[in-house]
Structure 1
């Protein structure tokens, strides 16, 4: 059984919990998720099964879309609503929509983030949250991430201390940290009070399935009907079509001359008619050649 399960991850589960449950339901060990979501966050979590596990790193390294809520006036040690309050400031004069939008605009593009202490980023072989739990200080590495789009969303709430926003960002973006940094720019301690992920690559909220649906299909032995093609997880990569003779060479994992056709992404997909053959990249040491990264021998 090979394909991508477009799961809607519920609150209260880790991404690893979801993988373990799906392994049992689909009776296979070849299961992998495509981008960690914190336990208290729900949202789109594509799960790769069988041969699809070969594309996990390529699907993980894609744009994500989130709806987040920023709460002004309180900062927490975890940068979300689950943590202990470490700083407070009364929001006497809530920022106007115009002030918020101006600050949000300043975060468009490539920005530098310092990962939160309560995160799985490793420093000297140890995860940051392990240092945090042991109350040990450690220098955190900075990272560059890309905010492709950010906008304030309308809200029906009377709460003046919070606002919602939509973010489209690169892999590795900490939305919690983004909320804190935005709050600081507005002059207040802040934290992320709510978050959902609505899109990962081509997978959208409206196309996802819940565990309840999966369990119903398993009872009918129809769980394979929920799987999308491996190709659906590679929409962001350029495609290169090959002939019958080249197909054999690709499936044998051979290096090939660089195609004359302009390739817009690196890596890219090698296809024969409608069949996905492999993922190739330009050879890092021989730019006139291409080499296989993953081969799909179905």
Structure 2
């Protein structure tokens, strides 16, 4: 059984829970997820099955779309609604929608983030949340991420008990912490803030419309019809530019040979090599041999 299962991860499940459930239902150990989602977050979680596990790194490295709700006026130790409140400040009733729109647009482009303490980023061999659970704080390395687009989804601000809520939609690179983005938006407005709600609506080429719930997957597993809901591996590589080759080159590529560059190579690096509509491999320009290309991954 090979392909991609576009799963709608339910709230309360970890990404690992979803992998373990899929392994049990599909009766295979070859299942890999394509980007961790926190337990409190629901949304698109493509699972690679069988030989499709070979493309996990390439599918993980895709744009993600999120719908989030920012709560301005209080911050938490986890940067989301599950944590303990650590700071509060009544929001000025004069805060306008226009001010909020101007501030959030400042975050488009490349930004620097510091991962939250409650995250799986490792420092000195330990995950940050392991330090956080012991009440320890350690220095965290900053990272560059890309916010491709951010927009306000409401025509008004929701005010209650001195706090303001507003929904945003974000398209971003892998490794972006939406929790931290919400905190930073609040800081730019002059207030403590946290992420009140989050849904991942797209990963690469996979949207909510492609997804199945755990219950639907269970039904197909019971009816022995899971293959009907698996998407082809190609769907997970659509974001990578393609180089189409003839039969002669296809045979050499199947053996992972280093080749000479040609004038018709895609601009992207890496790129996928396609023959008769099928992706044979992922290649890149050789980092040490000028004028050559080499395989990153060959799909046999």
**TM-score if structure 2 supplies the norm length?**
0.96
- The equivalent of 2:257 in structure 1 is 254
- The equivalent of 2:74 in structure 1 is 74
Contact 1:155 1:163 in 2 (8 A): no
1:181-226 deviations in whole A, cap 9, x for unaligned? Answer: 0001111110000000000011011221111111111111100111
Distance 2:48 2:71 in 1: 35
The DSSP-based 3-state class of the residue aligned with 1:18 is: helix
1:284 to 271, 281, 287: 287
2:276 to 252, 273, 276: 273
- The equivalent of 1:221 in structure 2 is 224
Distance 1:168 1:186 in 2: 21
- The equivalent of 2:65 in structure 1 is 65
User: After TM superposition, where is structure 1 displaced by more than 3 Å over at least 4 residues in a row?
Assistant: 155-160
Give the stretch that moved more between structures: 257-266 or 39-48: 257-266
The DSSP-based 3-state class of the residue aligned with 1:104 is: helix
Name the Cα RMSD after superposition: 1.3
Give the stretch that moved more between structures: 76-85 or 250-259: 250-259
Distance 1:47 1:266 in 2: 25
Seen in structure 2, the aligned counterparts of structure 1 residues 156 and 206 have a Cα distance that, compared at 3 Å, is farther
The DSSP-based 3-state class of the residue aligned with 1:116 is: coil
How far apart are residue 292 of structure 1 and its match?
1.1
How far apart are residue 287 of structure 1 and its match?
3.0
Distance 1:220 1:137 in 2: 50
- The equivalent of 1:104 in structure 2 is 104
Give the stretch that moved more between structures: 102-111 or 249-258: 249-258
Q: Would you say 1:18 and 2:18 are equivalent positions? A: yes
Give the stretch that moved more between structures: 215-224 or 258-267: 258-267
Contact 1:155 1:164 in 2 (8 A): no
Segments of 5+ residues of structure 1 without an aligned counterpart are none
Alignment of 1:170-185 (within 5 A): 170-185=173-188
Seen in structure 2, the aligned counterparts of structure 1 residues 180 and 158 have a Cα distance that, compared at 3 Å, is closer
Distance 1:107 1:279 in 2: 33
- The equivalent of 1:245 in structure 2 is 248
Distance 2:54 2:155 in 1: 41
How far apart are residue 95 of structure 1 and its match?
2.1
**TM-score if structure 1 supplies the norm length?**
0.97
Distance 1:158 1:262 in 2: 51
Q: Would you say 1:162 and 2:141 are equivalent positions? A: no
Aligned pair count reads 297
The DSSP-based 3-state class of the residue aligned with 1:19 is: helix
Distance 2:240 2:290 in 1: 19
1:37-69 deviations in whole A, cap 9, x for unaligned? Answer: 000000001100011111101110110000000
Give the stretch that moved more between structures: 244-253 or 86-95: 86-95
How far apart are residue 137 of structure 1 and its match?
2.4
How far apart are residue 155 of structure 1 and its match?
6.2
How far apart are residue 2 of structure 1 and its match?
0.9
1:205-264 deviations in whole A, cap 9, x for unaligned? Answer: 122111111111111110011111111011111111111111111111111111221412
Contact 2:97 2:155 in 1 (8 A): no
Contact 2:64 2:174 in 1 (8 A): yes
- The equivalent of 2:149 in structure 1 is 149
Distance 1:234 1:93 in 2: 48
